[in-house]
Amino acid sequence: MPYFTTSDGTEIYYIDQGAGSPVVLSHGWPLSSDAWQREVKLIADAGYRAIAHDRRGHGRSSKTYAGNDMDTYARDLAELIEHLDLHDVVLIGHSTGGGEVVRYAARHGAGRVKKLLTAGAVPPVMVRSESNPEGTPIEAFDAIREGVLDDASQFYRDLAAPFFGANREGATVSQGAADDFWRQGMLVNLAAAYDCVKAFSETDFTDDLTSLDVPILIAHGDDDQIVPIAAAAEKTITLVKNGTLKVYPGAPHGIAGDYQKALDADILAYLAE
């Protein structure tokens, strides 16, 4: 299993499969690179080099107490990409990972990034404020922190329902998908899971988005209960210079089922452009 050690001594686990032009995938909270297993195979099978890492504190990477913030996440990604000497990279990020790849591309990716794709991504900023009335109230994020601190195992079991839209009438989310969400969540270091809530909810990516000079495909389900589209993708598309918004009717936050199949087809088409 490949590991890379960052400049501050953090061990980052990653998978690296296939050959060809590089595609780097960044996962959401509280998951790991395992969330991208299907995409890694499909991308590698299509003739690309697919790379996905476990963010610090998540999965098999170091169980960090410090550095659980978006600037450090982006720096870790920069150091991994530099370590692998990747160029003409396509970045794909889901949820928190969407914020990570946007910040990386804006602040570290000059000369290395070809284009981006985000899915259910947190930019521009999630938390509600006077300037962002469509955002989610801070009390909702406080409740996430409380849930993680009080009983993380049960919290992840409960969160799987809105994450995948299993609480909607007619939903066909498998028990396996919910179980795997719980499994990945339980690998996160508690301090990292707790601190990452602030990172994904309060980081403002507005300047990063406006400074992007590469194409970005912004994918989002219009029934996303975790990162509502009105405060995210619908605002992001107004800030980027070269963006395309793709809305998936009825799709939730979690990438599974019919939504996953549709998104994966769009990912492969986007890579081939």
Please tell me what DSSP assigns to residue 189.
-
Q: Report phi then psi at 82, rounded to 5.
A: -70, -40
Active-site entry in 27, 95, 195, 220: 95
For 88-141, give the DSSP string.
Answer: SEEEEEETHHHHHHHHHHHHT-TTTEEEEEEES---S--B-BTTBTTSB-HHHH
Say how many C-beta atoms besides its own lie within 10 A of residue 217's C-beta.
Answer: 20
Helix, strand counts (H, E) of the chain: 9, 8
Residue 224 known to be catalytic:
yes
Locate 45 and state its tokens.
């099978």
Residue 27 known to be catalytic:
no
Residue 33 known to be catalytic:
no
Active-site entry in 53, 58, 94, 253: 253
Active-site entry in 54, 195, 208, 224: 224
Instruction: Report CA 157 to chain centroid distance, whole Å.
Output: 20
| Residues taking part in catalysis | 95, 224, 253
